[in-house]
Amino acid sequence: MIRPIMKDVFFLSQKSEPATIADKQVGQDLLDTLAAHTHECVGMAANMIGIRKNIIVVNMGFVNLVMFNPKITKKSGKYETEEGCLSLIGVRPCTRYKEITVEYEDMNFKKQKITLKDWPAQICQHEIDHLAGIII
């Protein structure tokens, strides 16, 4: 289901809670909502659709990947950049890493590990920041 985009900064600044298998539909809602905003958005966190759960979706260029309870376990290649956000107006400076390794659970709640570089890594870092209540 396509959900409305949360723009309340107070809500977005709150930390999200661990996702469980009961939250599987939220992953699908994120996929649907990202697809509806594909022309202006490349990733989403569950709090962007009003749900404080550790769930994100990242556009990998060829597929949108849902990650439940993602955690960055390795990062390298620190750089400074600017990013925008569908939930906020304008762009802001931030620090990112060129390459990251992320451990997460997939749509079947099986543990996965992926190494991301460049643009997908930047998207993933932005969305994981959302889960921690970090607003760029």
Give 31's DSSP letter: H
Residue 46: closest CA among 69, 62, 64: 69
* Residue whose pair of structure tokens reads 């996965």 in the numeric block: 112
Rg of the chain over Cα atoms, rounded to whole angstroms, equals 14
Catalytic residues: 127
Count the Cβ atoms, other than its own, within 10 Å of residue 82. 10
Residue 124: closest CA among 60, 76, 73: 60
Q: Residue 79 forms beta bridges with which residues?
A: 96
Give the H or E element holding residue 58: strand 55-59
